[in-house]
Every structure is written in structure tokens, then in C-alpha cells.
Copies of this chain bind each other. A is one copy, B any other.
Amino acid sequence: MSGRYALGIDFGTESGRAVLVDCSDGSEVAASVYPYANGVLDERLPDSDVELEPEWALQDPADYVRTLQHAVPEVLAGVRPEEVVGVGIDFTSCTMLPTTADGTPLCELPDLRLRPHAWVKLWKHHAAQPEADEVNAVARSRGEPWLSRYGGKISSEWFFPKALQILHEDPEVYARAGRLIEAADWIVWQLTGVETRNTTTAGHKAIWSKADGFPSRDYFAALDPRFADVVDEKMSRRIDAIGGRAGGIGERAAAWTGLLPGTPVAVANVDAHVSAPAVGCIAPGELVVIMGTSNCHILLGDRLASVEGMCGVVEDGVVPGLFGYEAGQSAVGDIFAWFVENAVPPQIYELAQERGVNVHHLLEEQAAALAVGESGLLALDWWNGNRSVLVDADLAGLVVGLSLSTRPHEVYRALLEATAFGTRVIVDAFERGGVPVDRIVACGGLPHRNRLLMQTYADVLGRPIDVSASQNAPARGAAMFGAVVGGSYGSIVEASERMAAPVAETYVPDDRSRHGYDTLYAEYVRLHDLFGRGGDDVMKTLKRVRDETKRAAAGNAPQR
């Protein structure tokens, strides 16, 4: 056939991105971004007065369709549609929604439009912590064997806590949901007309494994009798292997996108997971860190091991024949953005403007002039809870060492360092659990924007960090899966060998800084354990008081 290109579509937190990739060498031919019109819904539902409680984070599924309608036609502008051999998509996860049996999102039904639980729950929706606590407590008391695959804890971000929250707080929406589905699988359904469910999100987020399937009916019944048949009533036991074909582009999707009907579409996948082959991580011991608003860590191993606080391990979950381990930090770039938006005074903005640089860049430059430890500051990077290794959304950020001489760039540096310490905790946990880390590749938006950040990671970890040249790693990885289902390659490993992005730059640890960071890291780990492992529960108490206060102020009971 005449095709030369594969299309990857990456559905992120704030926008969707289409990238057209040359199948022969992986070069990125065209890219287009669609910023979601409704973004992240964390204060109220669109065009309404319906306010959301703390910790909520929703999305509008119409934004995903608009990505297909706007971004895809733009990247196809210079090519003939028959030149596209296949399409792959990747998505944030666990991002899930309730739909009717035919896939219509419940939030698009007029009578459910003002019901928060009818909308998409974004990965960073953290309001299902009580349900996550229940999921974990019941699993522990029943001795569920699958719990150890998830570092001993299921996160509030994942599928069943979110599903259970719908049941608890809005049973009618739960009842009306013919399907509960990952947004990744839902968008493939919209593209092809075929409902599939992929191994990666099922394995990493919905407690499924190739060997054992889902947890038992008894387990779900123990959570809530009405939840006993959630898999058979709202989901499916048929799980499709990544790397396979979900279907072909349907007529409606062809009209949206300009793709030819029948163009092969790959089974859905996750942004972090497709990044591994995109940057050439296809062998055991290779760790890719996707650095953006949050950090996601994907490590390949050749055997099943039990690692504290990892998000999960899935056989064939990243690359066939290997075990894909996932860990994460729930806020990284988000913390730096919060800082610049909320805690940087006018004189820094003015200086940045005079110098013609952005504020992040100026702070980075000022912070780079500091020696390790010079600020006297240390932070815990839990502005959005802790995903790995503590798996606890109720933790919060902390800064210690503040004095009257503390300056903004010093706090900024302490925040960069805190996220690096958080990554080191994860790497240490992998190695302690028996999964070696031999090479680290960073990709995502942050590594290209902040040299100090990358040098700090190298110094704190005491290892070289390769930065991938691609700034569109997820979309490129998705496109590789498109190339595979389009027949250009026999497997994702073969595709990666030809199409992976090269290394742009390697950051090498500085011996002196590394030594200084060892001291600070020891302090970080002690505070991490003190506040994160139950030694001092101040963060949880403050959050509880805050939530009670907000509810009392709103004059109503929790939404249940």
C-alpha cells in the first residue's frame, strides 16, 4: 500500500494533540494542539451554578471529540488521507466516565447535565479517597492476592474507587450508566464504533491481570451489595491486548477527521506507557520519566516483583514479553506553575519583563546560582497528594526552613529539589523491590524548558539522565502503535527500533552537588516517613477540618 504516515493522538490534561509521524524514521511531520474549551472542571460545571466540592476534577467528553474535529484535520492538511496507514491514541488514565449502553456520555443527557457524577472523572479527581480507603481495607481484611501487585494500595485516582464514589453519592447516575469506561477506550469507540477495553488501563487502573482477570464478585459484594456485578453489568471481561487493532475509522469519525473510513485504529493506550517505546525504552532496566504537570515513571522488568507503592505492574502492559511497572508523582510542573501564579512578587515579574524572559526562566537562573543547601529550605512535594510510594491523596505540601531572609528563587529551587527527591524515593523503592534501574530517559514538556531541573534530578539521583529529543513522546508513541496496526512493523519493539526519538542531551551528576544532596535527601526521607506513614497526621487533620468547614459553610451535607 502507498501509506507512509501514522497518526498519533494524545489526550492530555489541558489539551489534545495530533502528530503525524513518518513511519520510516519516526520524524514528526506535523503537529496540532487543541486546548480543551472546558479544560479541567474543578470549581463548577460548565454554564451552570453547580459548584464542585474540594478535590473534584472533571472533564467534558465533548472536548475529546473537538480534538478529533480540530487537531486531526490540521495535521492531515498536507497529505492525502490514503497515506495514513494507521491511527493510535493515548490518554491520561484513570480518566473514566459513565455512558449509556451505546456510548453516549451521561453528562450529555439533558436531565443529567447538572449532576457532577455524570461527567468524566479526570485522573486527578481525588474525591474518592474514602472509597479508596474502603477498597483497600476490604482487600486487606479478605487477604486479596492482587493487592501486592499494586504496592499494597489502590489509589483514589483509579477505576473502582471512582466507580464506587458514583454509586455512593449518586446512585441514580450509577444505575443509568450502561457502561463505565476509560476515556481512552471511549474515544477509540467513537473513532471505530467498536467498544474495546485495553490491557494497560485494565491492568494498571482496574485491578485486572492476564492470569487472574478481575477481583471476585464476592470482593465487590463486600464493598457494597449493589457493586457485586459491576464488571458484568457496566464493563466487560474481554480485554484487548495493546498492539492489536480495535477496528477501522467509522463514517462519523471520518467526517470529523478527514481520515479514510476503515483506516486501522489501535487498541487504546496510556500516555505514559506509549512514551516508553517512543523514547526507545524497550529493554529490562530502562526507566522513562514523563515530566509535565505530574511525573509518571514507567520501568521495564523481566520478572514480577513486589515494589512498595508502585501504581501497578502489568505483564505485556508496555512491551510484549516484559513486565511494565508504573509509578507516579501527582504534581510536578503543576507545583512550579502554582508557585509562579500564587507566590512570586511583582518585582520578579518586572525584572523578567525587563530582561525579556519568562518568570520560570528568571527564577531558574537565580536559583541556579545557589549552592546545594544554601537556602536552608526543604519541601515535601505533595501539593496534589502523593501517588508513589505512599499512595495517599490526603497528604499535602510542606515547606520548612523559612526565614526573614528567604527569597522567592530559593523557595522555587526547594520545590524543584523536592520533586527530584520524590523521584529518588521511587527509584530506591524499585531497586529495593528487586527491579533494577539501569538507564533513565526523561521526556515530556519540562525537560526541555528547565535545565536546572534536569541537572538537579541527575545530582539528586546520582545518575546520568538522558533527555529525549521528542517533545511529543506520547503522540509519537501512539503513532507507533498506529504504524503497527497499519502493518508497517510486526511489533512495537520493531517500530521503536526504527521510529524512537533520539537522545537530545545527557545530564551528568556533579559529584559535589550529589554529596550535598545526600544530606538533604536523608532529611527529606525522614519527613516523608514522619508525615506520610502515620507518625504525624497533621496533614490529614487539616484536610478533614478544611472539608468539614467548607461543607458547613455551604450549608449542606456531603453529596451522598
Contact = CB atoms under 8 A, between A and B. Distances in A.
Interface of A: 42, 54, 331, 334-335, 338, 341-346, 349, 371-378, 383-384, 396-408, 411, 516, 519-520, 523, 526-527, 530-531, 536, 538-539, 541-543, 545-546, 548-550, 552-553
Question: How often does this chain occur in the complex, in copies?
Answer: 2
A407 B338 CA distance: 9
B378 A542 contact: yes
Contact of A396 (B54, B344, B349, B376): B376
B373 A545 contact: yes
Contact of A397 (B335, B342, B384, B403): B403
A408 B334 CA distance: 16
A510 to B, nearest CB: 14
- Give the residue among A335, A402, A516 with the most B Cβ atoms within 10 A: A402
Given A402-B383, A538-B526, A408 B376 contact: no
10 contacts: A373-B542, A373-B545, A373-B548, A376-B546, A377-B542, A383-B404, A397-B402, A398-B399, A400-B538, A523-B542
A338 B405 CA distance: 8
Contacts of A538: 378, 400-401, 523, 526-527
Contacts of A549: 371-374, 516
Nearest to A293: B404
Contacts of A552: 371
B550 A401 contact: no
Given A371-B553, A375-B546, A549-B374, A403 B396 contact: yes
Contacts of A349: 345-346
Given A376-B543, A402-B397, A526 B516 contact: no
A396 B375 CA distance: 12
A491 to B, nearest CB: 40
A543 B545 CA distance: 32
Nearest to A374: B549
A407 B526 CA distance: 28
A541 B516 contact: no
A530 B536 contact: yes
A515 to B, nearest CB: 11
Contacts of A407: 342
Contacts of A523: 538, 541-542
A536 B400 CA distance: 12
Contacts of A345: 341-346, 349
A157 to B, nearest CB: 15
Given A373-B545, A526-B536, 16 more contacts: A335-B404, A343-B344, A343-B345, A344-B345, A345-B345, A345-B346, A345-B349, A383-B403, A383-B404, A399-B399, A400-B538, A401-B542, A519-B545, A523-B538, A523-B541, A527-B538
A343 B400 contact: no
A526 B373 CA distance: 27
Nearest to A399: B399
A544 to B, nearest CB: 9
Contacts of A372: 549
A331 to B, nearest CB: 6
A353 B466 CA distance: 47
A519 to B, nearest CB: 6
Contacts of A383: 402-404, 406
A377 to B, nearest CB: 7
Which interface residue of A396, A400, A550 has the most chain B CB atoms within 10 A? Answer: A400
Given A343-B345, A398-B398, A545 B376 contact: yes
Contacts of A406: 338, 342, 383, 397
A519 B531 CA distance: 18
Contacts of A335: 404
B342 A546 contact: no
B401 A54 contact: no
Contacts of A404: 331, 334-335, 338, 383-384
A539 B400 contact: yes
A226 to B, nearest CB: 32
